[in-house]
């Protein structure tokens, strides 16, 4: 089933509800029932990987041990993504409340917000509201307290295990998995880590009930999602849209009439060329996205677009694993060499094989996803890359 | 809680292993070798080189065999098309970043990366050359270690070694992406940072990025110089490992062959550091008893426990990290430096050679000794007491360079004097050995009887554990030492600086009290020294230790004070332990150093 139209939604920024009333409602239920509701809703993580949120909570709850953590991933570093900033700015209490609900559900007493270093300007406001919130939660006899940790400005620290390392005061490098965070996360304790937006949806599901949420979206992509729209569009900005929409509808709403490609999911996402607008669904069954939609019109050089992305990854790779550290440099230098005629055009095939190796041999999601933009841009815009 | 068994298949062959076992180890059980680079059995798992990737059925991506625990029903393929293609790509990527001038490289022939390339990257270099500033990044500042970043594959074994085994953290990962590299504090030269020169990182570096500073040419030049008289001393642990690089089976002692080889190389005299190890026991044992007397009888404030001082890596560690414990270090020089001081004084005189003509070379299992011989204090003879230190590895190389067929050599004996030694000296090479040697002598001095252990083997101080402790009750003393009657002598032993740190902290925090503590900077003691043959592992070190104890058992003399040459040197030259001459030649002092 797919939606034919592009439907705007207003759940995340809806300011008419008092989030603490939702917390009260949740506290009247058992933690297990809360988790069942989230599972039932079909909510999947909005940070990019799309793991079912209810299951993540359940796994964390099922772990032995008294010390568990809830972490809100507010490191938003994916190029073209700026929706978490808006959520943090506009509805922080909803995030806090979502965390408190998660804490209640999994049995955690502490929550942390890992805030992107560049968002430190939000800190005074957030801390002030948080103080107030923590006090109110205490008054409800819920043993849960939230604090904020400031990130140090590396994209890789948004990857969950690198984020834990960074929080522990170490160098932000992804860990080996397993163990997964639900078993061994921050301080090696069971940890449920969610994206900012995911936590607000969890709150809204608790408010509206899972059925209401399921009315939106498709079987594989329940609900809606906040999109960051940028590039060659007359209407850049943040939009909450129903999931499962055809890209065609998106382009007709946001394009400038001359759209040649949309990069779905930021630098680490896929590039969809015009010829595929009709058969591309935005959602977990089609192309998933953490929310970034970059629109390119025919004045753009896709070589430059790819070059920019590869420069970004070459710099932002944590550098620990060979396929990613060296692979990114080879892809970048490789397309430069082809452009300059120092390597023959068929070298692009070698680079594609390399990207495929990076996808399966890299240690974390960063190195694994470089293949997405590389292959999708090279396959669809081969002439622009070579000549 | 007992571990339960997990059933899985590797390359379609069923196997059951304990839960928590990695795919790498499970595959070893079935004799499937999976290549590795960042993995090292002494270290934590990094999972960063990705050459060990394997395919697990149903998984979207490949798994690092070294870092992935087995799970029930797993279906693993170690050599599928995807796996081999990925490994080949990864090795080629590593090479594209690598200054692969193998023919000019010090590690040529003993390099894990090189070995990997002969298996996975045959000839066709597809990728662009990414090596930056090949020459600029060579750090030759340290007298012990050469760091060449152009050869580094960022496996971080050195970083983990220095942090996990040595608790020094001289090396760290800095920067990200294409600028990521292994650096020192503020990227300073190795000689200026808190590094103990222990060489443990060198032992575990799979490439030529960290190697010993070699003095092979200097030693050859000295040998070839007709105006020089070149004496060589060999440390106890060398004989237990030298064979490894020369086609001899692991764990075989090669003392006699080594002496023969050294004579063939052209050294004028081949002498034994074991001799000064015995001497060290005389001096250090007396020093310990003197300290105990001051504490127990004279009620003077004296630094206890006394720490051994024969490991120069440990000395530098204390100077940097625990300067408040400098007074606890025995003032005895290491056997190497005692030897050097005697060589250019007593010995030169005895054999009628002018000290300025003498070149004193030592063969050590150790890279820190290269630094030690450069210390300004180590010139008590009026000259540099030890001119050059070469490691076990460098000696093996010289033997090969000279075309000597080591395996076929007939055993020869050390020259005399300064060539005789006892079993007590040999065991200096293993952790706990100095303690055992000291106890054999001190106990006998104090009680007039041998230590109360079968066959003189003081079992409680032996073994590979990082920290060991024991207590020995002193009974029926001879009159001169009656103040020790009934005293329970408490001792502790640590090897590996991370263990040493734990032990000193326990002492500092009042959680433990001892009279005498033996510390060796390297895991397992000198047999695991930073100058020993590569590779190293707990298994290899265990074999070397066995060889050491076997040598001890086979010696006729097994207590330092029984060494006739030691007795002769005291009679002819030194006088008595801790006497005036000893003080000048055999003892030293230490200085506090910066913590960063
Ligand atoms: C390189 C990299 C960067 C990431 N950055 C972010 C980020 O900035 N914010 C985020 O929520 N998730 C990020 N993720 C995903 C997280 O690892 C993790 O999956 C997510 O926080 C889980 O939350 P969710 O289940 O609510 O999506 C990143 C992943 C990778 C591999
Ligand atoms: S894939 Fe890239 S970012 Fe991830 S661990 Fe490897 S080097 Fe670091
Ligand atoms: S480090 Fe190894 S692969 Fe590299 S040049 Fe030296 S021998 Fe060759
Ligand atoms: S020589 Fe020892 S202390 Fe120095 S960097 Fe290597 S491991 Fe660390
Ligand atoms: S110096 Fe050697 S051990 Fe250290 S990271 Fe480089 S290659 Fe690995
Ligand atoms: S050996 Fe497994 S990743 Fe390096």
| Residue A174 in domain | yes
Same domain, A45 and A160: yes
- What string of DSSP letters covers A64-97? --S--EEEEEE---STT--HHHHHHHH-HHHHHH
Q: CB-based contacts of B275: which residues, under 8 Å, 6+ apart?
A: B339, B418, B419, B420, B421, B425, B563, B565, B566
C-beta separation of B238 from B261 below 8 A: no
* Averaged pLDDT, A209-235: 96
Q: Which residues on chain B are in Cβ contact (under 8 Å) with A325? A: 154, 177-178, 180
**Does the annotation mark B369 as catalytic?**
yes
For CA atoms B34, B39, B44, B47, the dihedral sign is negative
Residue B2 has what pLDDT? 61
Residue A166 has what pLDDT? 97
| Residue A372 in domain | yes
* Averaged pLDDT, A201-214: 97
Q: How many CB pairs under 8 A join A and B?
A: 116
Q: Does B53 touch chain A (CB under 8 A)?
A: yes
Same domain, A55 and A171: yes
> Edge to edge, what strands does the sheet with B488-495 contain?
B306-307, B516-520, B488-495, B467-473
Ligand 3: which of B114, B118, B147, B152 to mutate, most ligand atoms within 8 Å of CB? B114
Q: Which of residues 320-359 of B touch A (CB under 8 A)?
A: none
| Residue A296 in domain | no
Q: Which residues on chain A are in Cβ contact (under 8 Å) with B96? A: 326, 330
Residue environment code for B407-443, b if the CB has 16+ CB neighbours within 10 A, otherwise e: eebeebebbebbbbbbbbbbbbbbbbbbbbbbbbbbb
Decide: helix, strand or coil at residue A181: coil
A3 compared with A10, residue with greater pLDDT: A10
- The model's pLDDT over A158-170, given as tens digits with 9 standing for 90+, comes to 999 999 999 999 9
CA separation (Å) from A132 to A96, A127, A146, A207? Answer: 11, 9, 11, 22
CA separation (Å) from B478 to A95, B116, B445, B481? Answer: 79, 64, 8, 6
CA dihedral A21→A23→A27→A30, nearest 10 degrees, is 130
Residue A2 has what pLDDT? 40
Same domain, A94 and A208: yes
Residue A254 has what pLDDT? 97
The runs of H, that is alpha helices, within B361-475 are 368-372, 392-401, 423-426, 433-447
The runs of H, that is alpha helices, within B121-153 are none
Angle among Cα B542, B548, B551 to the nearest 5 degrees reads 145
Contact B61 A322 (CB under 8 A): no
Ligand 3: which of B101, B102, B116 to mutate, most ligand atoms within 8 Å of CB? B102
C-beta separation of A224 from A291 below 8 A: no
| Residue B433: both structure tokens together | 């050995």
| Residue A47 in domain | yes
Residue B135 has what pLDDT? 63
* Averaged pLDDT, A214-242: 96
From A173, A330, A343, residue closest to B96, measured CB to CB: A330
C-beta separation of A101 from A202 below 8 A: yes
Residue environment code for A42-54, b if the CB has 16+ CB neighbours within 10 A, otherwise e: bbbbbbbebbbbb
Interatomic CA distance for residues A257 and A269, integer angstroms: 23
Same domain, A184 and A52: yes
pTM, full prediction = 0.96
**Does the annotation mark B568 as catalytic?**
no
Give yes or no for residue A292 CB within 6 A of ligand 1.
no
Residue B118 has what pLDDT? 85
In chain B, the domains with their CATH numbers are 5-79 (3.10.20.740), 93-212 (3.30.70.20), 281-331+421-586 (3.40.950.10)
Minimal-distance CA residue to ligand 1 atom 9:
A76
CA separation (Å) from B562 to B319, B366, B440, B559, B588? Answer: 34, 28, 11, 5, 25
Q: Which residues on chain B are in Cβ contact (under 8 Å) with A316? A: 176-177
- Ligand 2 centroid – CA B175 distance (Å): 13
Contact A329 B126 (CB under 8 A): no
**Does the annotation mark B377 as catalytic?**
yes
C-beta separation of A318 from A366 below 8 A: yes
Torsion-angle region of B185 (φ positive above 0: left; ψ -120 to 50: alpha; else: beta): beta
Decide: helix, strand or coil at residue A227: strand
Angle among Cα A44, A47, A49 to the nearest 5 degrees reads 65
| Residue A15: both structure tokens together | 């300011």
Report the chain A residue with the minimal C-alpha distance to residue B91.
A322
| Residue A179 in domain | yes
Interatomic CA distance for residues B99 and B130, integer angstroms: 9
| Residue A247 in domain | no
Interatomic CA distance for residues A60 and B167, integer angstroms: 34
- The model's pLDDT over B51-84, given as tens digits with 9 standing for 90+, comes to 999 999 999 999 999 999 999 999 999 999 999 9
C-beta separation of B361 from B387 below 8 A: yes
Give the residue numbers spanning the domain of A362: 302-386
Contact B96 A327 (CB under 8 A): no
Count of domains for chain A: 2
* Averaged pLDDT, A364-376: 98
Q: How far is A384 from chain B (nearest CA, A)?
A: 21
Instruction: Read off the CATH number of the domain in which A352 is found.
Output: 1.20.1440.230
Q: Does B96 touch chain A (CB under 8 A)?
A: yes
Give yes or no for residue B23 CB within 6 A of ligand 6.
no
Residue B125 has what pLDDT? 79
Residue A282 has what pLDDT? 95
CA atoms within 13 A on the CB side of B57: 11
C-beta separation of B69 from A178 below 8 A: yes
| Residue A44 in domain | yes
Mark which of A196, A214, A232 sits at the end of a domain. A214
Residue B356 has what pLDDT? 97
Same domain, A49 and A145: yes
Q: Does B153 touch chain A (CB under 8 A)?
A: yes
- Ligand 2 centroid – CA B321 distance (Å): 34
Q: Which residues on chain A are in Cβ contact (under 8 Å) with B127? A: 330, 334, 350, 354
Instruction: Read off the CATH number of the domain in which A209 is found.
Output: 3.40.50.11540
Q: How far is B318 from chain A (nearest CA, A)?
A: 26
Q: How far is A279 from chain B (nearest CA, A)?
A: 24
- Ligand 5 centroid – CA A125 distance (Å): 45
Q: Specify the DSSP element, H or E, that contains B286.
A: helix B273-296
Residue B456 has what pLDDT? 81
- Ligand 2 centroid – CA A162 distance (Å): 10
| Residue B330: both structure tokens together | 């025995």
Report the chain B residue with the minimal C-alpha distance to residue A327.
B93
Ranges in chain B, pLDDT < 70 = 1-2, 122-123, 133-136
Query: With bands split at pLDDT 50, 70 and 90, how would you rate the model's confidence at A183?
Result: very high
**Strand ranges, E, within A176-258:** 191-195, 224-231, 237-242, 245-246
Same domain, A16 and A147: yes
Report the chain A residue with the minimal C-alpha distance to residue B22.
A178
Same domain, A197 and A325: no
**Does the annotation mark B152 as catalytic?**
no
CA atoms within 13 A on the CB side of A136: 16
Ligand nearest to the CA of A194: 1
pLDDT for residue A3 is more than 70: no
Residue A1 has what pLDDT? 37
- Ligand 6 centroid – CA A174 distance (Å): 14
Mark which of A158, A187, A214 sits at the end of a domain. A214
The dihedrals phi and psi of B294, each to the nearest 5 degrees, come to -60, -40
Residue B596 has what pLDDT? 80
**Does the annotation mark B119 as catalytic?**
no
In percent, how much of chain A has pLDDT > 70? 99
Contact B178 A171 (CB under 8 A): no
Interatomic CA distance for residues B114 and A177, integer angstroms: 29
Ligand 5: which of B95, B146, B174, B209 to mutate, most ligand atoms within 8 Å of CB? B209
From A176, A316, A354, residue closest to B64, measured CB to CB: A176
Q: What is the mean pLDDT of chain A?
A: 96
| Residue A265 in domain | no
Residue with tokens 């430069």: A336
Contact A317 B177 (CB under 8 A): yes
Same domain, A313 and A206: no
Q: CB-based contacts of B86: which residues, under 8 Å, 6+ apart?
A: A323, A357, A360, A361, B50, B53, B62
Same domain, A202 and A343: no
Residue A112 DSSP class: E
C-beta separation of A197 from A12 below 8 A: yes
Mark which of A171, A199, A214 sits at the end of a domain. A214
| Residue B273: both structure tokens together | 């550091």
């Amino acid at each position: 089933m797919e939606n034919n139209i592009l439907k705007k939604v207003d759940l995340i920024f809806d300011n008419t509800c008092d989030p603490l009333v939702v917390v009260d409602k949740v506290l009247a239920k058992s933690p297990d029932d809360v988790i069942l509701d989230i599972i039932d809703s079909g909510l999947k993580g909005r940070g990019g990987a799309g793991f079912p949120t209810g299951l993540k909570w359940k796994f964390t709850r099922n772990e032995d041990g008294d010390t568990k953590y809830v972490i809100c991933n507010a490191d938003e570093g994916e190029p073209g993504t700026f929706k978490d900033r808006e959520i943090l700015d506009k509805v922080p209490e909803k995030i806090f409340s979502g965390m408190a609900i998660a804490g209640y559900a999994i049995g955690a007493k502490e929550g942390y917000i890992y805030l992107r270093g560049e968002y430190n300007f939000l800190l005074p406001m957030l801390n002030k509201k948080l103080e107030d919130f923590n006090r109110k939660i205490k008054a409800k006899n819920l043993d849960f307290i939230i604090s904020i940790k400031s990130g140090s400005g590396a994209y890789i620290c948004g990857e969950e295990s690198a984020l834990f390392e960074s929080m522990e005061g170490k160098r932000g490098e992804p860990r080996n998995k397993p163990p997964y965070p639900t078993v061994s996360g921050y301080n090696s304790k069971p940890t449920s880590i969610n994206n900012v937006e995911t936590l607000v949806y969890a709150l809204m599901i608790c408010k509206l009930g899972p059925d209401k949420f399921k009315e939106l979206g498709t079987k594989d992509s329940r609900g809606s999602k906040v999109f960051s729209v940028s590039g060659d569009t007359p209407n850049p900005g943040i939009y909450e849209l129903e999931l499962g929409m055809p890209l065609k509808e998106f382009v007709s709403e946001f394009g400038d009439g001359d759209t040649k490609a949309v990069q779905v999911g930021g630098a680490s996402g896929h590039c969809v060329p015009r010829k595929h607008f009709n058969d591309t669904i935005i959602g977990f069954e089609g192309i998933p996205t953490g929310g970034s939609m970059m629109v390119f019109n025919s004045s753009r050089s896709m070589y430059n677009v790819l070059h920019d992305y590869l420069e970004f990854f070459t710099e932002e790779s944590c550098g620990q694993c060979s396929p990613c550290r060296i692979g990114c440099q080879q892809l970048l230098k490789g397309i430069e060499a082809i452009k300059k005629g120092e390597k023959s055009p068929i070298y692009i095939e070698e680079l594609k094989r390399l990207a495929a190796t990076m996808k399966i041999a890299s240690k974390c999601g960063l190195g694994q996803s470089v293949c997405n933009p590389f292959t999708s841009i090279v396959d669809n815009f081969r002439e622009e890359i070579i000549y | 809680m007992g571990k339960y068994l997990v059933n899985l298949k590797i390359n379609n062959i069923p196997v059951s292993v304990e839960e928590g076992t990695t795919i790498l180890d499970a595959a070893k059980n079935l004799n499937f070798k999976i290549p590795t680079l960042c993995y090292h059995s002494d270290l934590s798992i990094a999972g960063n080189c990705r050459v060990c990737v394997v395919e697990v059925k149903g998984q979207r991506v490949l798994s690092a065999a070294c870092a992935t625990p087995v799970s029930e029903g797993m279906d693993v393929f170690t050599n599928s098309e995807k796996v081999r293609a990925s490994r080949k790509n990864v090795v080629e990527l590593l090479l594209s970043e690598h200054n692969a001038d193998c023919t000019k490289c010090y590690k040529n022939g003993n390099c894990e990366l090189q070995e990997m390339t002969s298996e996975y990257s045959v000839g066709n270099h597809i990728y662009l050359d990414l090596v930056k500033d090949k020459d600029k990044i060579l750090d030759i500042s340290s007298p012990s270690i050469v760091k060449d970043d152009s050869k580094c594959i960022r496996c971080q074994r050195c970083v983990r070694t220095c942090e996990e085994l040595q608790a020094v953290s001289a090396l760290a990962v800095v920067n990200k992406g294409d600028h990521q590299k292994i650096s020192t504090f503020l990227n300073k030269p190795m000689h200026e940072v808190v590094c103990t020169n222990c060489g443990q990182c060198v032992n575990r570096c799979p490439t030529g990025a960290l190697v010993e500073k070699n003095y092979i040419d200097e030693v050859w030049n000295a040998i070839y110089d007709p105006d020089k008289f070149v004496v060589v001393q060999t440390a106890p642990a060398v004989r237990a490992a030298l064979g490894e690089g020369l086609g001899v089976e692991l764990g075989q002692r090669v003392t006699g062959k080594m002496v023969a080889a050294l004579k063939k190389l052209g050294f004028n005299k081949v002498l034994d550091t074991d001799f000064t190890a015995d001497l060290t026991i005389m001096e250090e044992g007396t020093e310990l008893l003197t300290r105990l007397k001051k504490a127990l009888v004279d009620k003077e404030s004296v630094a206890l426990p006394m720490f051994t001082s024969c490991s120069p890596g440990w000395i530098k560690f204390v100077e940097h990290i625990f300067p408040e414990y400098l007074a606890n270090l025995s003032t005895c020089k290491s056997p190497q430096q005692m030897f050097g001081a005697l060589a250019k004084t007593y010995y030169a005189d005895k054999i009628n050679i002018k000290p300025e003509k003498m070149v004193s070379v030592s063969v050590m299992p150790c890279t820190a000794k290269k630094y030690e011989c450069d210390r300004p204090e180590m010139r008590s003879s009026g000259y540099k007491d030890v001119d050059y230190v070469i490691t076990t590895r460098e000696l093996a190389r010289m033997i090969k360079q000279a075309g000597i067929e080591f395996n076929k050599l007939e055993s020869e004996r050390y020259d005399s004097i300064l060539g005789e030694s006892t079993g007590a000296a040999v065991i200096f090479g293993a952790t706990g050995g100095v303690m055992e040697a000291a106890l054999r002598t001190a106990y006998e001095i104090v009680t007039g009887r041998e230590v109360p252990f079968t066959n003189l083997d003081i079992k409680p101080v032996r073994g590979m554990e990082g920290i060991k402790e024991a207590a020995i009750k002193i009974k029926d003393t001879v009159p001169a030492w009656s103040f020790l009657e009934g005293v329970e002598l408490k001792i502790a032993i640590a090897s590996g600086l991370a263990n040493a740190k734990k032990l000193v902290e326990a002492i500092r925090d009042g959680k433990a009290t001892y009279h005498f503590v033996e510390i060796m900077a390297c895991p397992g003691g000198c047999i695991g020294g930073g100058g020993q043959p590569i590779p190293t592992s707990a298994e290899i070190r265990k074999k070397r230790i066995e060889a050491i104890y076997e040598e001890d058992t086979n010696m006729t003399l097994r207590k330092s004070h029984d060494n006739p040459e030691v007795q002769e040197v005291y009679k002819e030259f030194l006088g008595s332990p801790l006497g005036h001459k000893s003080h000048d030649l055999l003892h030293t002092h230490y200085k506090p150093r910066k913590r960063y």
